[in-house]
Amino acid sequence: MNAHPVDAEPLLTPSEVATLFRVDPKTVTRWAKAGKLSSIRTLGGHRRYRESEVRELLNGIPQQRPSDG
């Protein structure tokens, strides 16, 4: 039962981010610890990552245009 129209940003789990980068979930944790990636923590201490943040990192630059010189 979760239906609250609040500004909830799409979050990803360490495993999800790890799959996107083809690395281990542990490595993603290292990035968060290194401050290379923004991390949101659950009340239990687990980390969660912003999908938009990861997307930008994957592409290097989010604003990529096809007709860009």
Partner DNA sequence: CGAGAGTCGGGTAATTTGGGGC
Partner DNA sequence: ATTGTCCAAATTACCCGACTCT
Q: Which of 15, 33, 52, 56 binds its own copies (CB under 8 A)?
A: 15
Per-residue interface string for the shown chain with its own copies, residues 19-48, x marking contact by CB under 8 A:
xxxxx---x--xx--x-xx--xxxxx---x
Exposure string of 9-31, with b = 16+ CB inside 10 Å and e = fewer, is: eeebebeebbebeeeeeeebbeb
List phi, psi (to 5°) of 68: -90, 135
Residues in contact with DNA, total (CB under 7 A)?
25
Q: Which residues are bridge partners to 48 per DSSP?
A: 40
Interacting residues with its own copies (CB under 8 A): 2, 4, 6, 8, 10-13, 15-16, 19-23, 27, 30-31, 34, 36-37, 40-44, 48, 51, 57-58, 60
